[in-house]
Structure 1
Amino acid sequence: MTSEYKIKVLNMGSVTVDKGGMTRGTDCGTELRIPQQAVAIEGNNLKIICDTGVHSVDWVNANVSTVKDCVLKDDESLEGALKHIGWKPEEVDYVINTHLHYDHCGGNYIFKGYKTKFVIQKKEWDFAFNPTPNQEQYYMTDLFNHKAVFPDQILLIDGEIELEDGIVLIPTPGHTKGHQSVLINTEEGVVCFAADASNIYENIDKDIIGNILYDTYSGFKSMEDIRRKAEFIICGHEPRTEKYQTNNFMRIHV
């Protein structure tokens, strides 16, 4: 990877969870306030968004049993976050959905009809329409199907690809069947936007898996793969990662 990119972390609201759901077997019953994080990537004449947050606070609070007290500040809707960083939806070249849970694709619709391509693993696309029973509450197909965006905007991929020079997508199944993470070349080194392959830093640092899973073994192997391929990590829900953070991301210890 030769091209270098700038990264900016976007907070797409926050929720309260039982920490035991993030770190299986530890701290069960301890409440943890977590952000729902996305990233904006710029460089090589490209603008890329990874994940798009939630579509409705009321829907989340009414329908998702594993979270409570969802809050979305003005600059934490996708529209508000883009405005804050000076981007317009029509300027975005790619939206990379790491997976299609409600809190990672809720803002897809704002790019409907623009040049934006939505890059999704085919295994995730198929799984989202026929999830396992323990995952059904996390998928709302109207957030990502042809009601949300035009069919020709959806780019289904199979496995690891170099999307653009310096941007590599790697399968990281476990949390879902078709979860993917994003390797981004920066001046500091390779940063992985892991999303829910490592919900919080403790997952990858202490090799502890979360509770919302399609496959436990794959989840551990995915964290191992991230350790091999990246130097730094942005997790999907790490409270210590700051809104609009641009550097000094958490280092991965091999």
Structure 2
Amino acid sequence: MSDTKVYLLDGGTLVIDGFHAFWNRGPGGELRFPCYSVLINHPDGRYIFDTGYDFDHVMRVLPFEKPIQEKDQTLPGQLAKIGFKPEDINYVINSHYHFDHCGGNKYFTKACTICHGAELDACSHPQPFEHLGYSDLSFAPEIAKAAGKTLPADPALDMYTPKFETLKGDQELAKGLWLFETPGHTAGHYSLMVELEGRRPMLFSADACYSQKNMDMMCISSFHLDPVASLKSMQRLKDLAAKYDAELFYSHDPDSFKNYQTGGNFYA
């Protein structure tokens, strides 16, 4: 834990309507929000928490989300800024399998993929209203094949043969590296907490809570499987933050993201 460093990797931005970000509360209109990944350089290995979206997939399937992603905002580009390559990553942890959290999995050909068992199951047969959320199955070519979906030609996918480790319940993956169950947004959603030597723990909400404003209003996003479970998970994040004196880092908060350390800077 004393040697652990945490990097936030800027993956570009997307657009949704305010009524989706703040379910039935708004205000409406375009809201451009960040997507990022978390690199944990831990004494036991290098972990990536979530891998953002794939630009080509979004342009092909969800162009109305108006992606902006420069070449250096892809995961290979972000890793290069801090002296790493995708093959240096040992583990990919996915909070859930919505397209904007798994689009870069394909780059990590040597990593073990960690997720909640319920999430891996859900993405293979999502509810009808989850169709677009689970539209990018490049992280699991065998699931895509079983679902009758043809993945686009992509050199990265030619090398990608994922191996999965599925979990359930809260888990300490390595010393000071915790996964907490926060379902509701999806069936098997995980949030992540990293304990560090020189600062308060970092608690990454992932999509259990998009932003500080969502938390202040106790207002979930419209993209959810179970709204009651979603609210309970938001309260759980509040309780975990209080219990561990942790700082919450939100997944899609344009205001908070401005103050996060990115671009090669790290937390330790």
Question: Which range, TM-score by smaller chain?
Answer: 0.7 to 0.9
Q: How does 1:68-217 map to 2 (within 5 A)?
A: 68-112=65-109, 114=110, 116-140=111-135, 142-146=137-141, 149-151=160-162, 153-186=163-196, 187-217=198-228
Q: Distance in 2 between matches of 1:216 and 1:68?
A: 23
Task: Specify the alignment match of 2:253 in structure 1.
Answer: 238
Q: CA deviation at 1:3?
A: 5.1
Kept in 2: contact 1:12–1:38 (CA 8 A):
yes
Q: Which moved more, 1:157-166 or 1:17-26?
A: 17-26
Task: Specify the alignment match of 2:230 in structure 1.
Answer: 219
Q: CA deviation at 1:141?
A: 5.5
Q: CA deviation at 1:205?
A: 2.7
Q: CA deviation at 1:247?
A: 4.9
Aligned residues: 242
Q: Which moved more, 1:193-202 or 1:121-130?
A: 193-202
Kept in 2: contact 1:4–1:166 (CA 8 A):
no
Kept in 2: contact 1:98–1:120 (CA 8 A):
yes
Match for residue 61 of structure 1 among 59, 62, 75: 59
Q: Distance in 2 between matches of 1:154 and 1:146?
A: 12
Task: Specify the alignment match of 1:251 in structure 2.
Answer: none
Q: CA deviation at 1:200?
A: 1.6
Q: Distance in 2 between matches of 1:106 and 1:62?
A: 13
Kept in 1: contact 2:200–2:247 (CA 8 A):
yes
- Identical counterparts, % of pairs: 31
More strand by share: 1
Q: Read off the aligned partner of 1:182 and give its amino acid letter.
A: L
Q: Distance in 1 between matches of 2:75 and 2:62?
A: 20
Q: 1:36 to 1:141 in 2, by over 3 A?
A: closer
Kept in 1: contact 2:116–2:189 (CA 8 A):
yes
- RMSD of the TM alignment (CA)? 2.0
Task: Specify the alignment match of 1:6 in structure 2.
Answer: 5
Q: Read off the aligned partner of 2:179 and give its amino acid letter.
A: L
Deviations 1:191-231 (A, max 9, x none): 11111111122122331111101001111111111112232
Deviations 1:35-56 (A, max 9, x none): 112111123242111111122x
Kept in 2: contact 1:109–1:143 (CA 8 A):
yes
Provide the TM-score with structure 1 as the length reference.
Answer: 0.88
Q: Read off the aligned partner of 2:33 and give its amino acid letter.
A: I
Q: Distance in 2 between matches of 1:44 and 1:163?
A: 12
Q: 1:150 to 1:61 in 2, by over 3 A?
A: closer
**2:229 aligned counterpart, secondary structure:** helix
**1:212 aligned counterpart, secondary structure:** coil
Deviations 1:20-45 (A, max 9, x none): 21112222322211111211112324
Provide the TM-score with structure 2 as the length reference.
Answer: 0.83
Kept in 1: contact 2:57–2:136 (CA 8 A):
no
